[in-house]
Amino acid sequence: MSNFITETTPNRPVYVDNDPQSELTTLNLGPTHPATHGVFQNVLQMDGERIVSGVSTIGYIHRAFEKIAEHRPFYQITTLTDRMNYCSSPINNMGWHMTVEKLLGIETPKRVDYLRVIVMELSRITDHLICNGILGVDTGAFTGFLYLMEEREHIYEIFEEICGARLTTNIGRIGGFERDFNDIAFAKLNKFLEKFPPILREFEALFNRNRIFIERTSGVGAVTPEVALNYSWSGPILRATGVDYDVRVNEPYSSYQDFDFEIPVGTTGDVYDRFIVRNEEMWQSLRIIEQALEKLKGEPKGVFHADVPEFYLPPKEQVYNNMEALIYHFKIVMGEVDTPKTEVYHAVEGGNGELGFYLINDGGRTPYRLHFRRPSFINYQMYAPMSAGMLLSDAIINMSSLNVIAGELDA
Amino acid sequence: MGKIANQDIIDKLSAQFGDKFTSPTEPFGLLTFETTANVIAEMLAFLKNDEDLKFGYLTDITAVHYPEEANALCVVYHLHSLQNNVRVRIKVSIPVSNPTIPTATTLWEGANWMERETFDFFGVQFVGHPNLVRILNVDDMTVFPMRREFALEDPNRVDKKDFFFGR
């Protein structure tokens, strides 16, 4: 084994096949391979179809978000969070807003909380749709993916109605939303709630009891809860092992304690369980959205942000015509507002797990230090060790079910 | 929130570690305290294995650079006790001239990449780490870019000077 690796640089082993006695083959899986769904590389040692060992190489799209964040005022960091997990960027945006609100002591109205819950659960559905759809594609079933992508499109149309963007949404502001949801958004949401369940049911009918799919996924990448916790896993893949850890329940934010929903858990932690857990989470998300719409009826209409003029940009027409608004606009943009000198850790349940924001503030215009606890980065480090002994085709679907998003991996 | 009060954790840790356990504070209810590099491994093991505390989940490891202070690099651990639903934050300050701290990979496999990332950006040497090499940056980088002395952009650039924007 050892003479396979010329250690020119320790992190990026250059594999030279110079051992005629060896029966092993070196395979570069990635960095741009259709089956990896993102830019990351695994250098695998193969014995025929079976993986003997692997080295993960990441960082291909590292963009130094933590460094950039030290040079941006709070409201400009939202766009950085978009680009981490771009399959569910509204959750990242909301997580960041709530971190800053926690730091500043801003209490958001209940209506804002419920609107946020709707947006976050919709984006959780888009995240799981992508993951489970792609898992189907990787096991050779293309149809389900196409059904689901149509529904993802409908969710993106709702986002477009709310904030104008689809993928990197920059949705919401510190203190609430930039504008209220319009009637078209609610109409599209209601239409989605009506049309989506039959399609998800059909998708489940295609896969859940499908003999080929079960044979392909069951027992692949099975992980015990002890190992998963030891590797600091979080999110659906941890819950598939049977650990009922969900930030929405353990440390409720954005009024999640008002909602009635269940945390689905698996038993074996294999690819099949992760698939089932994600499907079930989509049903629970739908339940939450329906409850949120019901609760919104009891809230005063037209409230879409907290009353914090020091941090929430006033409407533009007021800036031009009203002295107070002009002062606040200037103070916010120039970063003249005093902020507490303290530190805060806030976690939200992202599509892939516990998405944490560790913010150290020194009272200045920008954070002194901002660290993102990115679930993909922490979940993915087990991939190479757990691949050893697997068939290559199993390792591919194992990677799909981990739902590693390159943007979140590298930040 | 948690099933254990922060005061109980403070009592337990100060009984165990005495004056090595310093300056506990509670920003936003999250118990934060400091310790030194020579007891951090012991303290993490105690927090993880204690029958009441059960801080078995390592949430995060990162670092902060405070260039004005004597021990300028501050390594920050976030631990979580899932059973008790309580978190703690541990800070260890180490000097830039000798940035060594024992690894946590002996306790948690998950600490591996967190420590590699911290090494990559701050140059913290985790003693005993199985493979302490750069992870996100290129290998031939010679600096630790998250330290405060490194500017985000080349300071000699003129195309972004303020006078071009009329400010």
Interface test with B, best of A8, A381, A404, A409 (most B CBs within 10 A): A381
pTM metric for this prediction:
0.92
Shortest distance, CA B134 to any CA of chain A (angstroms) = 7
For residue A245, give the chain B residue with the closest CA: B82
What pLDDT was estimated at residue B164? 56
Q: Could you tell me the residue ranges of all domains in chain B?
A: 6-143
Per-residue confidence at A30, pLDDT binned at 50, 70, 90? Answer: confident
Q: Report pLDDT for A108.
A: 94
pLDDT-derived band at A107 (thresholds 50, 70, 90) equals very high
| pLDDT above 50 for A5 | no
Nearest to B109 among A59, A230, A356 (CB): A230
Which residues of chain B neighbour A232 with C-beta distances below 8 Å? 57-59, 108, 110-111, 114
Q: Determine contact, residues B93/B34, Cβ cutoff 8 Å.
A: yes
pLDDT at A9: 43
For A267-296, write each residue's pLDDT tens digit.
Answer: 999 999 999 999 999 999 999 999 999 999
Q: What is the mean pLDDT of each run of 10 residues along chain B (167 residues)?
A: 83 90 90 94 94 92 94 95 93 94 94 94 94 90 90 69 52
User: Across the interface, which of A230, A245, A368 has its CB nearest the CB of B82?
Assistant: A245
CA distance B105 to chain A (A): 10
| Smallest CA–CA distance from A40 into chain B, residue | B136
Range B6-143 has CATH code 3.30.460.80: yes
Least confident of A3-17, A231-245, A336-350: A3-17
CB pairs under 8 A between A and B: 96
> Of A348 and A1, which is predicted with more confidence?
A348
| Per-residue pLDDT at A341 | 93
A residues 284..343 contacting B (CB < 8 A): 342-343
Average pLDDT over residues A301-309: 92
| Alpha-carbon distance B11 to nearest alpha carbon in chain A (angstroms) | 23
The predicted structure's pLDDT at residue A7: 43
Task: Select the residue from A371, A372, A409 to test the B interface by mutation, using most B Cβ atoms within 10 A.
Answer: A371
Name all domains of chain A by residue range, CATH numbers in brackets.
2-57 (no CATH), 65-307+337-373 (1.10.645.10)
Share of chain A above pLDDT 70, in %: 94
What's the confidence (pLDDT) of residue A14?
47
Q: Which residues contact B132 (CB under 8 A, 6 or more apart)?
A: B115, B116, B119, B125, B126
**A345 in reach of chain B (CB within 8 A):** yes
So what's the pLDDT on residue A8? 42
Res A268: pLDDT: 92
Shortest CA gap A153–chain B (Å)? 33
For residue B28, the chain A residues in CB contact (below 8 A) are 102, 342, 344-345
Least reliable range by pLDDT among A79-83, A223-227, A259-263, B139-143 = B139-143
